[in-house]
Chains A and B, each alone.
Chain A
Amino acid sequence: MTDWTALERFLDTDPADVGCEQAMDILHVYADLLAAGADAASRYPGVAAHLAACGPCGEDFRGLLAAITHEP
């Protein structure tokens, strides 16, 4: 039986996904909330959906989170 899990995961689209522009507009707000221990994903579910699905925006988010949690 062929495992289509990765294919299905790729093809799944979340209607709540806000897209790159909106997610990047409030990435700093989202990152600060998360770094402070707040439930950022509940406050901004569409941003959470986007960051989970978009590789480049997810990478930017991880970079920003790393920057603010290991401040120079």
Chain B
Amino acid sequence: MERPEKLAPPLDAVSAGWISALTGTGPAREAGLVRLHGLLVRVAAGEVRRRDASSGIAGPELDDLAHQAAADAMLAIIAKLGTFRGESRFTTWAYRFVVLEVSSKLGRHYWRQHPAASLDAEDWDRLPDRFGLDPGEQAAQAEMITAIRHAVDQELTARQRQLFIAVVLNGVPLDAVVARTGMTRNSIYKAIFDARRKIRAFLVANGYLEHRKLGSP
């Protein structure tokens, strides 16, 4: 398990100032909260804009999503302030909450933009597109797709199969699957990770892919 050093360095002056303000009382705390909220809104707006090409959100909806993400991040930061151990700058720690909130909200928003999207429709003809395969090689492709289907049907658990179909075949963003199923991003990733490993082992064992060590060119 990769963890930061157990003994975190002393807080830098700026981070210490934030903690002092946010754990204090009275006007100093109020001023700290207002200042932090302003920063979070700007970071959220920047992050939503950075992703706007892929999210398809624009205009007032984009601003609204950024403000919601900043507000929810603010609540999470205040609730978890006691867990900040100074392993990074305070603002970096705080901005992480904003970025994660933006991802979560975009995942939920996906279903409003794609109400007809399906987690479990199975259109295997999409698979070549998913892997950028050359349409000129139809016979070889058809053989590989059939082999992958066999691997999916024979080697995967029901849960792995369901998530492979949703994310890989149907191209539903992982965070949208999180929003729809209530599963964590980690558990979905792990299921697909195991599915990828099993499919690869099946393709190698049956002569569709060459065995080679990971990382070799």
Contacts and interface: CB of A to CB of B under 8 A. Distances in A.
B interface, size bucket: 35 or more
B124 interface: no
A50 to B, nearest CB: 8
B114 interface: no
A28 to B, nearest CB: 4
Secondary structure class of chain B's binding surface, majority of residues: helix
A13 B200 contact: yes
A12 to B, nearest CB: 6
A53 B137 CA distance: 27
B4 A2 contact: no
B88 A20 contact: no
Contact of B88 (A15, A32, A45): A32
3 closest A-B pairs by CB: A72-B42, A11-B200, A20-B186
15 contacts: A2-B141, A8-B200, A13-B197, A20-B184, A28-B87, A28-B96, A29-B88, A31-B92, A45-B2, A47-B2, A54-B189, A56-B103, A66-B46, A67-B98, A67-B99
Interface of A: 2-4, 6-8, 10-15, 17-22, 24, 26-29, 31-32, 35, 44-47, 53-57, 59-60, 62-64, 66-68, 70-72
